[in-house]
């Protein structure tokens, strides 16, 4: 996945209307080098296409790719190499690494969560807690790590949460208003307890979000629902407790940390004379 407009903005931000004064002062402008993007830590890769597009944006076209997005790699793996003008490579370096390291960090964290619940029928799902302007890319990285996406935007589907419920006057009232206004939209509704769950079940929502419930309460919810709709657990879920939630029988675990708290994967650029 490539967002060329975002790349242009990132490079423009780095130059801020000027030039790379360090490279202009230290590099004559005639040197050619070979540079390799090398991962320093085990992880899952995402963002290779973005890194290549950054290189292309500054005029570098002699690029070799060795790893595909979604690949699990070990420290020391060379992801791609580029040959060309030294100044251009130095200009592209940080922007390319920022995208590649950030997206690979998301993919790596997602893979860890997916591994924690392996063998269950539950899926790890992201949220809208994304970096402004990077939602498409970050959710793509989640998929590369083995997770699945929740709605991409507010217009994709309805998610009735506690504030909507308070504004509408109750769980049933909120659901009824959404269904009347948008009869063809998928509707997910948040419930805080089993009593609320029983109230909304007759309305046949597409999905019910179990907010801050324990694995034990989630298991009770699964028995109450009996497959009428899908269930998603959210809130209070840690990597250590993920399997217990997954084994309760819910269909999804909503993990905002995939996009808002994933540490970058350590990737560096090593240059050598051609």
How does DSSP assign 216-243, residue by residue?
HHHHHHHHHHTTSSEEEEESS--TTTHH
Annotated catalytic residue 94: yes
The total of other beta-carbon atoms located within 10 Å of residue 65's CB is 14
Q: How far is CA 158 from CA 37, 147, 171, 198, in A?
A: 41, 21, 14, 20
Separation of alpha carbons 213 and 194, rounded Å: 9
Tokens of 174: 């909120």
129 is catalytic: yes
The pair of three-digit structure tokens given for residue 10, joined into one six-digit string: 């990132």
For the chain, first and last CA: distance in Å? 30
Active-site annotation holds for 62: no
- Is 156 one of the annotated active-site residues of the chain? no
**CA distances for 40 relative to 48, 55, 141, 224, angstroms:** 16, 21, 19, 48
Picking from 119, 97, 102, 125, the residue whose alpha carbon sits closest to that of residue 43 is: 102
How much helix, strand and coil, in percent to the nearest 5, is found in the chain?
45, 20, 35
- Sorted by sequence, the CB contacts under 8 Å of residue 52 that are 6+ apart come out as 63, 65, 80
Which residue in 72, 83, 123, 161 is the catalytic one?
Answer: 161
Which one from 41, 72, 129, 135 is the annotated catalytic residue?
Answer: 129
Which residue's entry shows tokens 């924690």? 116
161 is catalytic: yes
Among candidate residues 49, 85, 93, 211, the one labeled active-site is: 211
Which residues belong to the active site? 94, 129, 161, 190, 211
């Amino acid at each position: 996945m490539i967002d060329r407009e975002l790349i242009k903005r990132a490079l423009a931000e780095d130059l801020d209307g000027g030039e790379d004064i360090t490279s202009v002062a230290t590099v004559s402008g005639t040197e050619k080098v070979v540079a390799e993007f090398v991962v320093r830590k085990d992880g899952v890769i995402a963002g290779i296409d973005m890194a290549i597009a950054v290189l292309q944006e500054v005029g570098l076209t002699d690029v070799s790719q060795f790893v595909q997005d979604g690949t699990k790699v070990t420290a020391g793996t060379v992801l791609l190499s580029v040959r060309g003008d030294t100044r251009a490579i130095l200009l592209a370096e940080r922007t390319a690494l920022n995208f590649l390291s950030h997206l690979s960090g998301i993919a790596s964290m997602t893979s860890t969560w997916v591994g924690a619940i392996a063998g269950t029928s539950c899926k790890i799902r992201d949220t809208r807690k994304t970096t402004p302007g990077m939602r498409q890319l970050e959710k793509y990285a989640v998929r590369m790590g083995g997770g699945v996406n929740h709605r991409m935007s507010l217009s994709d589907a309805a998610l009735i949460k506690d504030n909507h419920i308070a504004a509408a006057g109750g769980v049933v009232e909120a659901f009824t208003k959404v269904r009347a206004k948008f009869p063809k939209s998928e509707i997910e509704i948040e419930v805080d307890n089993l009593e609320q769950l029983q109230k909304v079940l007759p309305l046949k929502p597409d999905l019910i979000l179990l907010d801050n419930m324990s694995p034990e309460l989630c298991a009770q919810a699964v028995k109450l629902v009996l497959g009428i709709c899908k269930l998603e657990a959210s809130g209070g879920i840690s990597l250590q407790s993920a399997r217990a939630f997954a084994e309760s029988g819910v269909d999804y675990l909503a993990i905002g940390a995939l996009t808002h708290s994933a540490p970058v994967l350590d990737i560096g650029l090593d240059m050598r004379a051609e």
